[in-house]
């Protein structure tokens, strides 16, 4: 596996053991390649993670080995990496790492972290999201190009309801994510309600192309707006995170004029460093913006008052939430009217 090496990030040195261990056999990328990638994009991924409770998606033996999500801060984490105390829907709680330095990302890579999953909150206020995250998820029969069409209409919806500016990025797979920086004035429940309102408006405008149906049997060949990605403890891979697929793709921040011209396959562990060296972080000014959800929450109120469109199901592991409809798939509900 080779002798340990030391890498520097942001003025701090991190030791990397087994640098020659193969992490991506299809491409031949090693643990050292992964670590050097995170050094190369350090300012960008730190911008996406800074002060956010972050879950680590770890592959200690590479992409073909066992993997797990680590929510609790590792016991061997250095004391220069702070934590935040967060509470899960179950009522349990944990201290999660909150990167404040580029070296924290490098340290996590030493332990096989491929993907970083930050909460949409900062450690000084873990109950008030400061991002509205829209996940455009292609369903079977659809692809990235379909997500692109939905994203451009989404951009118009955001602008119409509050003059919101979204920041698009590839998921690293077939989908697109659009993040909107918001004032931390709303609860997780309210932010989720705003995401539902966005999804419903997008569905009205593109009924044959977009759906907000939670049950897979109802989605069809459409782009699913996954509103539950805004629920507490649901996270989305950060910008610049490496995704656990054989060709080592990364979640790539895009300018809007690139949505439709660039393709997810353009961005991987080998190509992103050159792009970053040339362009820097194309979402560098994201934290300079803070928008209001008032217009979207008013849209949600009108949907409920005028059209009877209330809450939608939560994920199965969540406790039953106030105002939530029956959490049973439609085909089962027909057979079991008493299901919940």
| Secondary structure letter of residue 289 according to DSSP | -
pLDDT tens digit sequence for 209-222: 999 999 999 999 99
pLDDT tens digit sequence for 110-163: 999 999 999 999 999 999 999 999 999 999 999 999 999 999 999 999 999 999
SS3 69: strand
pLDDT tens digit sequence for 73-109: 999 999 999 999 999 999 999 999 999 999 999 999 9
What's the pTM value of the predicted model, to 2 decimals? Answer: 0.95
pLDDT at 141 (0 to 100)? 97
pLDDT at residue 299 is higher than 50: yes
Backbone φ and ψ of 7, nearest 5°: -120, 150
pLDDT tens digit sequence for 303-330: 999 999 999 999 998 999 888 998 888 8
Distance of alpha carbon 196 from alpha carbon 189, whole angstroms: 11
pLDDT at 336 (0 to 100)? 63
Name the one residue in this structure whose structure tokens are 């659009």: 178
Average pLDDT, the chain: 96
> Contact at 8 Å (CB) between 69 and 57?
yes
Name the one residue in this structure whose structure tokens are 């924290």: 104
pLDDT at 15 (0 to 100)? 97
pLDDT at 338 (0 to 100)? 56
Distance in angstroms between the alpha carbons of the first and the last residue of the chain: 53
100, β-bridge pairs: none
Residues present in the chain in total: 340
| Secondary structure letter of residue 295 according to DSSP | H
């Amino acid at each position: 596996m080779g002798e340990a090496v030391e890498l520097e990030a942001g003025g701090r040195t991190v030791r990397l053991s087994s640098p020659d261990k193969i992490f991506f056999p299809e491409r031949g990328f090693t643990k050292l390649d992964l670590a050097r990638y995170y050094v190369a994009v350090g300012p960008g991924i730190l911008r996406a993670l800074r002060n956010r409770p972050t879950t680590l998606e770890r592959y200690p033996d590479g992409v073909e080995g066992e993997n797990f999500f680590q929510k609790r801060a590792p016991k061997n984490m250095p004391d220069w990496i702070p934590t935040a105390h967060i509470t899960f829907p179950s009522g349990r709680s944990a201290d999660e790492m909150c990167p404040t330095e580029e070296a924290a990302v490098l340290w996590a890579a030493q332990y096989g972290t491929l993907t970083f999953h930050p909460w949409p909150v900062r450690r000084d206020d873990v109950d008030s999201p400061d991002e509205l995250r829209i996940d455009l998820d292609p369903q079977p029969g659809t692809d990235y190009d379909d997500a692109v069409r939905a994203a451009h209409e989404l951009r118009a919806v955001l602008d119409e309801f509050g003059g919101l500016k979204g920041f698009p990025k590839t998921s690293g797979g077939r989908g697109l994510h659009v993040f909107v920086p918001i004032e931390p004035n709303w609860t997780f429940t309210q932010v989720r309600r705003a995401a539902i309102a966005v999804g419903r408006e997008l569905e009205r405008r593109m009924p044959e192309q977009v759906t907000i149906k939670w049950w897979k049997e109802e989605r069809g060949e459409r782009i699913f707006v996954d509103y539950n990605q805004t629920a507490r403890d649901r996270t989305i891979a950060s910008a610049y995170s490496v995704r656990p697929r054989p060709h080592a793709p990364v979640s790539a921040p895009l300018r809007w004029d690139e949505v439709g011209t660039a393709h997810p396959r353009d961005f991987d562990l080998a190509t992103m460093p050159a792009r970053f060296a040339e362009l820097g972080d194309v979402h560098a000014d994201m934290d300079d913006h803070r928008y209001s959800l008032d217009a979207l929450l008013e849209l949600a109120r009108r949907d409920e008052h005028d059209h009877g469109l209330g809450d939608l199901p939560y994920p199965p592991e969540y406790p039953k939430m106030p105002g939530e409809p029956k959490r049973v798939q439609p085909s089962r509900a027909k057979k079991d009217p008493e299901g919940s």
